Amino acid sequence: MTADTDARAGSTVASKPGPMLVVATALMLFSMFFGAGNLIFPPMLGVEAGESFLPAILGFLGTGVLLPVLAIIAIALSGNNLRDLANRGGWIFGLVFPILAYLSIGAFYALPRTGAVAYETAIQPLTGWDGMLSSGIFNFIFFGVALALAWNPNQIVATLGKFLTPILLVLLVILVALAVFQFDGQPGAPLEKYDSPAAAGLLEGYLTMDAIAGLAFGIVVISALRYRGMPEGGPVVRGTIWAGLGAGVLLALIYLGLGFIGQIIPDPAQYDNGAGILAGAAELTMGTPGQIIFGLIVLLACLTTAVGLISATSEFFHTLTPGINYRAWAIVFSLLSFALATMGLDTVLAVAAPIIGFIYPPAITLIFITLLEPVLRGKLFFFWAFRLPIWVAVIWSALTTLVDLGWGASFLEPLISWAPMQDLTLGWVLPTVVALVIGLIIDVVKPHPAPENVKKLIHSLQG
């Protein structure tokens, strides 16, 4: 935690940390992950996967829960934040990748999406409002409230972990419980896209973007634990890991419940998307009050995620540019998100889609290599084992993005179409694994000494 951050706090450090701090931090992290996309993907999967629900939801949990938790652990093991971690891929990657990651989960996509989805899913169905003016008024209020809650980053654990998240969880549990006891629908045949249900579920979880969010949220978790008095080194790392695991368990349980609603809701074919399924479930179980409760669930899910995203992106850009303080960045990102969200979800998606598709492969590569290195307990420092696979993932992802945009597709597509799973946008996996093996061989033959900060972190973890 920087001196600037401490000065922003305006209050004294909390009492001696204990298990309840980790619990509150886990609740905070869950609410930051659990946005509108997380709310609406599982019920639609429950409908579309039909009788293949189990392998599909397990695939979804793999990329929608396990991968984000691993991202939090990777940040904990890196010692501080995403830039520290990304620097292992070289200084160019260490600068460009974190900026793209924070912009994609910040003002260019995930942050404005919270406002746009809250308006289109929670407000429009209840009020019938439509048009740019009503959207602008709502998003001005929405991002104003989010900015106010994120104004002091050291209070986010209290704001989200102790108050907003328990309310959100209670509302979700009520909706799932009522649906389970009242609905008697039966799952149908899976859609064609679920012919390979586990793979389809993996791709659905991939779309939540929570792996990128996990890399970004790590700085918020670590800062919160430090501010609340958790000792540096191993205790902060272990506290961050436990908070990540706790948030992951909550995410998995809620996803299973929401997915099961899609399995048992009557006449599921009448619903076009996951939001419609949950709105229908709320109305069928509770009538008009149920619609209001569903609107509150969506608003809380979007608001808690918006607070987390404003805090995470502003913390990062403040560390990148110390001359511009946290609150200035928070205002900038809130205003940008307000503008994009007012123009609607389609505008947000058009701006962000190429960036999202590009950064995911190197992000996943970075996570898994970071987790692999500690297995050797300091016996081998990864140098080329970081750089080679990361740059292969970057280049492959760039080629795939260019082909998807139609830029030079006739020339570029033959270069990447040979790879297994390229049709699922996973063609980068095999070349990246090969590059990792080559990098490991080079590091064994010609080892690089570990930097002092890496040695200290390994020593603190072993202690």
Helix 165-182 / helix 234-264 crossing angle, nearest 10 deg: 30
Token pair in block for residue 85: 């971690």
Residue whose structure tokens are 């809250």: 118
Q: How far is CA 209 from the centre of its chain?
A: 5
> What is the distance between the alpha carbons of residues 57 and 50, in angstroms, rounded to a whole number?
11
> Residue 46: what pLDDT?
92
CB atoms within 10 A of CB 44: 22
> What is the distance between the alpha carbons of residues 324 and 81, in angstroms, rounded to a whole number?
18
Q: Which amino acid is at 314?
A: S
> 46-92, pLDDT tens digit by residue?
999 989 999 999 999 998 899 999 988 888 877 667 887 888 888 89
Q: How many distinct helices (H) and strands (E) make up the chain?
A: 23, 0
Residue 365, CA distances (Å) to 160, 176, 232, 356, 412 in order:
30, 35, 27, 15, 22
CB atoms within 10 A of CB 222: 27
> What is the distance between the alpha carbons of residues 260 and 340, in angstroms, rounded to a whole number?
34
> Residue 351: what pLDDT?
59
Q: What is the DSSP string of 219-274?
A: HHHHHHHHHTTPPTTHHHHHHHHHHHHHHHHHHHHHHHHHHHHHHHSSSGGG-SSH
Pick the CATH number of 3-343 from 1.10.760.10, 1.10.1750.10, 1.10.3720.10, 1.20.1740.10: 1.20.1740.10
> 280-292, pLDDT tens digit by residue?
888 888 888 888 8
Token pair in block for residue 380: 């081998």
Residue whose structure tokens are 């205002």: 331
> Residue 10: what pLDDT?
38
> 221-253, pLDDT tens digit by residue?
887 787 777 776 678 888 888 999 999 999 999
Whether 374 contacts 89, CB under 8 Å? no
Residue 44, CA distances (Å) to 145, 217, 273 in order:
30, 27, 6
Q: Where are the domains of the chain?
A: 3-343, 352-463
Q: What is the DSSP string of 270-293?
A: G-SSHHHHHHHHHHHHHSHHHHHH
Mean pLDDT by 10 residues, the chain (463 residues): 39 53 86 79 90 93 91 79 82 88 80 84 78 87 92 71 78 89 86 86 81 81 79 79 92 93 88 82 86 85 86 88 92 91 68 73 89 74 90 92 80 84 82 94 83 58 53
Whether 176 contacts 286, CB under 8 Å? no
Tell me the backbone φ, ψ of residue 79, rounded to 5 degrees. Answer: 105, -20
Token pair in block for residue 385: 């084992």
> Residue 350: what pLDDT?
64
The residue among 419, 436, 415, 435 whose CA lies nearest residue 427 is 419
> What is the distance between the alpha carbons of residues 456 and 285, in angstroms, rounded to a whole number?
55
Residue whose structure tokens are 């989200």: 160
Neighbour-count burial of 142, counting CB atoms closer than 10 A to its CB (0-12 exposed, 13-18 middle, 19+ buried): buried
Tell me the backbone φ, ψ of residue 74, rounded to 5 degrees. Answer: -60, -40
Residue 168, CA distances (Å) to 35, 39, 129, 172, 299 in order:
11, 11, 25, 6, 9
> What is the distance between the alpha carbons of residues 333 and 108, in angstroms, rounded to a whole number?
9
Q: Is the dihedral of CA 38, 43, 49, 51 positive or negative?
A: positive
> 105-148, pLDDT tens digit by residue?
777 778 888 888 888 778 877 777 777 888 889 999 999 999 99
pTM of the model: 0.81
CA dihedral 90, 95, 99, 100 (to 10 degrees): -40
